[in-house]
Amino acid sequence: MAFDLAVIGSGGAAFAAAIAARRKDRSVVMVEHGTIGGTCVNTGCVPSKALLAAAEARHVVLSAHRFPGIRADAEEVDFAELISGKDKLVQDMRADKYTGLAAEYGWEIVAGHARFTEGPALEVELADGGTQRVEAAHYVIATGSAPWAPPIEGLTEAGYLTSTTAMELEALPTSLLVVGGNYIGLEQAQLFARLGVQVSVVEMLERLAPSEEPEASEAIAGVFADEAITVRTGATVSAVRRAGGRVVATIDGQDSDFDEVLIATGRRPDTTGLGLDAVGVQTGERGEVVVNAHLRTANPRIWAAGDVTGHPQFVYVAGAHGAVVADNALDGADRVLDYRHLPRVTFTGPAIAGVGLTDAQAEEQGLDCECRVLPLENVPRAIVNRDTRGLIKIVAERGTGRVVGVTAVAEGAGDVIAAAVYAVQAGMSVEHMANTWCPYLTMAEGLKLAAQTFTLDVAKLSCCAS
């Protein structure tokens, strides 16, 4: 039987493509060699944010003394119980949002490893040892990405944790070295530190969160210092070995020992064993499937969506890709996506969020811009929370005042940046933002205040003056 659409993978991009195709009343088959649901629900967003929320709850208890009259304490973490609860949450969401939906929409999921053969067609090595040939009018590669480790001497032999395996530990280590100071490393470092682990972070570039604004890097470095997380930037781990049950890491020529090492140096597209050469599908330098703006590969019947394409590794990008591929493959819609207003969030506490261009990126693009940075000590919500660590930065085009980028380091920065997305996409000016309604005593009010700093000294305003 030939299907309208055959999807390899079962994550966010795969399910979005399959759902969109079924809504068009097209036939779909999905092939998955691992656990249904892909990275996000199984080993990525859902479990990591669930554990981050738990760690934050403990941190809130331990930091409750910042409020006069409040006394609280937290017992030692039962990590096995915490992980068990995380696993139950993942299982429930996988059943509700993935396997259950496939049954509801009516497509088959074949358990096995798919490989392209001439045709194009798929040869699937089934989990029971047999093989099955799958033919379709169009194919979608949605196999996602996998953690990547740099070539550190002795790392493979010594063994290491990734953001995936760290969330499967049965007990907390006493000490942990996190290699990588971007969003995955930052989240994992603070997660384990807030659960009581002694954490050190090594980042080879000169600052944490190196792709964000320098002010954001400085702010999160200050937070980590407050929480006794050791940070070494501009440093390199050259070798790792096991000695006496401990991990010994050579950092800039000096040895330091830890219980465990967690490698958080990014993820790479996963195309292992797909046989792409057989059907003329090209891959890039980082292993990504090469696609055009319509997400079509060099083979006109084969498409790709999500992390495997090398586009920004966000599940909302994967979901949008899946829907676009279904429209383009099955209806010839020629849809393309605009990534200029794509938001990003690092779920530390406080969180780091941004949309549009940073100051440096605007300069690289030849834009004449000016910036303002509003410390959270000027935001009433942060003051009443008794935590003014953080900032809001606006990058605006000089002359027109058009907002081209916003960065926030704040509690709920992801929600704050959602409002900024609309402002940047709509081409609002700082004057417009400064004079737009915003509810008092919300963190989002910081956007309005930051916009006002282009013309006012907000420190000289009363707390609810507009």
Counting residues of the chain whose pLDDT is more than 90, the rounded percentage is 92
> Per-residue pLDDT tens for 363-389?
999 999 999 999 999 999 999 999 999
Cα 161 to Cα 265: distance, rounded to the nearest angstrom: 12
- Token pair belonging to 412: 């709920």
pLDDT of residue 422: 96
Task: Determine the 3-state secondary structure of 153 from DSSP.
Answer: strand
Give the long-range contacts of residues 418-421, CB within 8 A, separation 24 or more: 418/343, 419/444, 419/447, 420/343, 420/355, 420/356, 420/447, 421/341, 421/343, 421/355
Question: Which secondary structure element, helix H or strand E, spans residue 5, and what is its range?
Answer: strand 2-8
Average pLDDT on 56-81 reads: 91
pLDDT of residue 466: 59
Beta strands of 167-234 (E only): which ranges? 175-179, 198-203, 230-233
Query: Rg (Cα) of the chain, in Å, rounded?
Result: 24
Cα 297 to Cα 120: distance, rounded to the nearest angstrom: 13
Average pLDDT on 157-167 reads: 95
> Per-residue pLDDT tens for 168-221?
999 999 999 999 999 999 999 999 999 999 999 999 999 999 999 999 999 999
Q: Parallel, antiparallel, or unpaired: how do β-strands 351-356 and 302-304 relate?
A: unpaired
Between 63-67, 378-382, 416-420, the lowest mean confidence (pLDDT) is in 63-67
Cα 14 to Cα 183: distance, rounded to the nearest angstrom: 24
> Per-residue pLDDT tens for 34-46?
999 988 888 888 9
Cα 238 to Cα 154: distance, rounded to the nearest angstrom: 9
Cα 153 to Cα 276: distance, rounded to the nearest angstrom: 31
Q: How far is CA 196 from CA 56, 164, 236, 245, in A?
A: 12, 20, 25, 20
> Per-residue pLDDT tens for 13-35?
999 999 999 999 999 999 999 99
Cα 282 to Cα 291: distance, rounded to the nearest angstrom: 8
> Per-residue pLDDT tens for 103-136?
999 999 999 999 999 999 999 999 888 999 999 9
Cα 178 to Cα 175: distance, rounded to the nearest angstrom: 10
Between 17-31, 87-101, 136-150, 343-357, the lowest mean confidence (pLDDT) is in 87-101
- Token pair belonging to 199: 């954490």
- Token pair belonging to 101: 């939906």
Query: What's the burial of 103, exposed, middle or buried (CB within 10 Å: 0-12/13-18/19+)?
Result: exposed
- Token pair belonging to 203: 């980042």
- Asked if pLDDT for residue 79 goes beyond 70, the answer is yes
Residue 256, φ and ψ in degrees, nearest 5: -135, 145
pLDDT of residue 129: 87
Average pLDDT, the chain: 95
pLDDT category of residue 465 using cuts at 50, 70 and 90: low
- Token pair belonging to 407: 């960065």
Average pLDDT on 422-430 reads: 97
Ordered structural domains, the chain, with CATH:
2-147+268-331 (3.50.50.60), 155-265 (3.50.50.60), 344-458 (3.30.390.30)
- Token pair belonging to 164: 């995936």
Average pLDDT on 376-403 reads: 97
